[in-house]
């Protein structure tokens, strides 16, 4: 009698049990951690026409002239593009030394470079300017799509870093999957990890200093616990649907709906965390160090949701006063 092999269904079931996590707040176990929340929630205005004519609309998520509040982020914008085919869009030299520029493409299945290289929803271009400058970064870009673009000011010691471009395809991004409950196999939350880590999954993106960039996709009611370094500050941007921020015992703390951005303060500026002793547990990987002692708990709304989390370490330096350069 021939050797018996496990069925494909059994192998798939085994993979799901091993790879998927149980949703936060569904097992009855208390994490005993401190929960982060949103300090402010701002509803964005409608996109206005940008610098590239009728084919470009843009909305400013962070005011580029308020670096003291946004530190270390110089700008954050959401651009809608509808650029003519085969038209060459030249970009003059942009003085971005001392910065990193991160472009996350959304709804971009029709965007192309010189009509050859396609860009899909979830692709990212991570540009470290260092001592250099950006020149013709979007040369030949055409088609229809959307780009959320973030500017990060680097500390002085990294201003002479070697210029680098990391073109990150969606299929290459580390992904965390979370099951709906202890007895469910389907994923209620999918987390694309562009920088930093989520759960036990670590991004392969090389960054300067602690930086977290996560793309959360929620099914209705899907819940996730995201551990954050207490010194990090940042923003949560709702792309679609709505996302609820929860605290201990799943108490409601805040709600973020499509078109809203919420700010997250670091340890010293959050009244809820002030005076707390930190647990010195350090993880290191791919340019990112994390201390796991504060938690951001998120839950998808009634129709699910999608939100982008940006967290960075403030730099004790004056603003370089740079705007986006799409």
Domain covering 51-168 in this structure, CATH number: 2.60.120.10
Put simply, whether the predicted model's pTM sits higher than 0.85 gets the answer no
- Could you state, in order of their start, the residue ranges of all structural domains in the chain? 8-41+171-312, 51-168
Summarize pLDDT for 291-301 with one digit per residue, the tens. 446 999 999 99
Architecture of the domain spanning 8-41+171-312 = Sandwich (2.60)
- Taking the alpha carbons of 60, 212, 67, 42 in that order, is the dihedral positive or negative? positive
Cα–Cα–Cα angle for 270, 211, 31, rounded to 5 degrees:
55
Do 8-41+171-312 and 51-168 come out as alike in CATH topology?
yes
**For residue 161, what are its two tokens?**
């870093």
The Cα-based distances of 84 to 54, 89, 119, 141, 291 in angstroms read 10, 10, 16, 9, 47
Q: Which of 175, 199, 198 is nearest to 187 (CA)?
A: 175
Helix residue ranges per DSSP H, 192-260: none
What's the pLDDT tens digit per position in 44-76?
A: 988 887 776 778 888 999 877 788 889 999 899
Nearest to residue 196, comparing CAs of 118, 116, 258, 283? 283
User: What does the mean pLDDT of the chain come to?
Assistant: 77
Q: What is the number of H-type helices and E-type strands within the chain?
A: 2, 24
The answer to whether residues 128 and 100 touch, using CB atoms and an 8 Å cutoff, is yes
Following DSSP, what letter does each residue of 156-173 receive, concatenated? GGGTTPPPEEEEE-GGGS
DSSP letters spanning 71-124: TTEEEEEEEEEEEPTT-------B--TTEEEEEEEES-TTEEETTTEEE-TT-E
Do 237 and 259 touch, CB atoms closer than 8 A?
no
Residue count of the chain, please give it.
326
Q: Say what the pLDDT of residue 54 is.
A: 77
Q: Summarize pLDDT for 226-280 with one digit per residue, the tens.
A: 999 898 999 999 999 999 999 999 999 999 999 999 999 886 555 554 444 443 3
Q: Is 32 helix (H, G, I), strand (E, B) or coil?
A: coil
| CA pair distance 256, 261, nearest whole angstrom | 7
Per-residue confidence band for 195, with pLDDT thresholds at 50, 70 and 90 = very high
Which range among 95-99, 245-249, 312-316 shows the weakest confidence by mean pLDDT?
95-99
């Amino acid at each position: 009698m021939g050797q018996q092999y496990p069925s494909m269904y059994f192998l798939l079931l085994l993979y799901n049990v091993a790879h998927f996590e149980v949703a936060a707040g569904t097992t009855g176990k208390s994490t005993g951690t401190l929960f982060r929340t949103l300090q402010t929630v701002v509803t964005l205005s409608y996109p206005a026409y940008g610098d590239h004519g009728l084919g470009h609309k843009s909305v400013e998520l962070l005011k580029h002239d308020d670096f003291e509040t946004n530190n270390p982020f110089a700008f954050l914008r959401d651009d809608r593009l509808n650029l003519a085919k085969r038209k060459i869009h030249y970009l003059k030299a942009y003085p971005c030394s001392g910065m990193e520029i991160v472009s996350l493409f959304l709804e971009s299945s029709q965007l192309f470079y010189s009509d050859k290289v396609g860009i899909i929803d979830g692709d990212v271009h991570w540009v470290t300017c260092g001592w250099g400058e950006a020149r013709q970064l979007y040369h030949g870009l055409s088609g229809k799509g959307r780009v959320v673009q973030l500017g990060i000011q680097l500390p002085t010691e990294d201003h002479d870093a070697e210029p680098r471009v990391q073109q990150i395809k969606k299929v290459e991004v580390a992904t965390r999957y979370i099951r709906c409950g202890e007895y469910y196999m389907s994923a209620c939350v999918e987390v694309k990890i562009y920088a930093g880590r989520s759960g036990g999954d670590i991004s392969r993106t090389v960054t300067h200093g602690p930086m977290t960039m996560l793309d959360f996709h929620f099914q209705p009611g899907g819940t996730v616990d995201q551990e954050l370094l207490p010194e990090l500050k940042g923003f949560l941007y709702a792309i679609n649907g709505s996302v609820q921020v929860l605290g201990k015992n799943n108490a409601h703390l805040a709600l973020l709906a499509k078109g809203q951005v919420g700010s997250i303060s670091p340890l010293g500026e959050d009244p809820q965390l002030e005076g707390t002793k930190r647990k010195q547990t350090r993880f290191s990987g791919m340019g990112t160090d994390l201390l796991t002692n504060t938690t951001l708990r998120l839950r998808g709304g009634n129709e699910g949701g999608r939100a982008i989390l940006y967290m960075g370490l403030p730099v004790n330096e004056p603003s370089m006063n740079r705007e986006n350069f799409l």
